[in-house]
Structure 1
């Protein structure tokens, strides 16, 4: 066999003084031209342009929100930004979607807080009192929550301890009474003959009296022998 290897130069009978110059197509150099990225395949210029566009969008958005804050005369927030910084191409689309939704909800909450602050500038003192009351209520709720957690942990520990004690007691009882050799005093022996499950059936012992293997007997008369009777019953009757 040639082991699936092609033979480019066949065997020759005489000596070959000069080496062969035959080449196979698989021995020739391949891919001699360097390939470059074509437009639309993510070249370095395209990536730079995309990053620049993202930065311009972020800058414009930041300037827009800063202008809105200045018009309201309030504090310029740095959290107003929908487009997150960083490379978004490496993120998972689902994670990017969740992050954008969270940013949108945060912006909506901030806008709602700003509108509430504009409508209730005259009630600052009452709001401070309400905040103090809310802080007190929050502290009480946290204390109550810690108390409930502690009680639940104690109850769980007590139940675990009780369950372990019951399991140990059952194991000890099983070890003491499980061996029949150690419990001979309380053992009740029944020497009565147990009935079979088919003792009270209707058709019981129907084949009684039928001898399947009759005892062989010798009769000097061939006409009255058992073989002659079976022969007559089988072929003559």
Structure 2
């Protein structure tokens, strides 16, 4: 049985914990740092002239140093090199002759491959054009032959159907054209001789002119009933 209806003599009590002042979430401090434009966002940093070539050469020097296992040049060393003769000249000259050999070899290979690619592209383009023209001509020839063949077949079919119809009509005329050879032919006249006259049924009612009309107290023996039965029920 439930005890929800009974009063609570010993209610639950919360712990006496020390609580600080409560603040609403929207009352907390926010946006405490000022945002500034970074490079590339249209600020003052974009107005400064950048030496892109020097940056590229610096990145290449760091890359080759990483490949060779040597130390990566730090900005202080680059500044010292710049004071001696400039970063561009130091990075362009290089520290080893292997890099120059690799660069020369790479340029030579690129030039050779460029010439080979140009020749191959010209040959491929001419061969492709000729092949495309031949393929189109062959396709057109096949389409033309197909159309001619379909028209010839259609013409032959129409001629066969026409010949069959003419042969059937000829056989029908031979079989039924001569009434002497056709025993089933009927020689009776199908039309009456007075079908096309102007005045017809002029003698209707002349038979009843001399008769005297009498009243009969019987619907089955009356003149009207007799005429009706003789006209519609025979």
Normalising by structure 2, report the TM-score. Answer: 0.31
Rg comparison, structure with higher value: 2
Normalising by structure 1, report the TM-score. Answer: 0.30
